[in-house]
């Protein structure tokens, strides 16, 4: 499963870098939008690059961490994923440095 989740997370990070917000939002639990973004800095606008820092399982969840490079500096973003209606979806976001 770890390889499958890593592929999913890599695809999600790619959506963010490409500016495909619709696809990135489709990877999130619909009921958690827009609350999932409250108090979190996300890469807005242009993202020049991204680096996946960590992908790990934590109990019943998966955690993906990526650093997005933006014109305003790097944004470290951790996403916590749950199994939602048979698919892995991001349920929470938090920043890290």
Residue 91: CATH number of its domain:
3.10.450.50
- Residue 89 has a pLDDT of 98
Neighbouring-strand partners of residue 93: 79
Number of domains within the chain: 1
**Structural domain that includes position 78:** 2-95
Q: pTM of the predicted model, to two decimals?
A: 0.94
| First-residue to last-residue Cα distance in the chain | 27
- Residues 1 and 10: their CA atoms lie apart, in Å, by 14
Average pLDDT, the chain: 96
90: left (phi over 0), alpha (psi -120 to 50) or beta: beta
Q: What is the pLDDT of residues 34-72, one digit of tens each?
A: 999 999 999 988 999 999 999 999 999 999 999 999 999
């Amino acid at each position: 499963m770890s390889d499958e989740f890593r592929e999913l997370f890599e695809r999600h990070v790619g959506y963010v870098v490409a500016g495909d917000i619709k696809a990135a939002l489709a990877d999130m639990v619909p009921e958690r939008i827009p609350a999932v973004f409250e108090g979190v800095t996300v890469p807005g606008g242009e993202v020049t690059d991204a680096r996946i820092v960590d992908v790990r399982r934590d109990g019943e969840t998966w955690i993906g961490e990526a650093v997005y490079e933006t014109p305003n500096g790097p944004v470290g973003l951790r996403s916590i994923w749950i199994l939602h209606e048979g698919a892995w979806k991001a349920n929470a976001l938090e920043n890290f440095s």
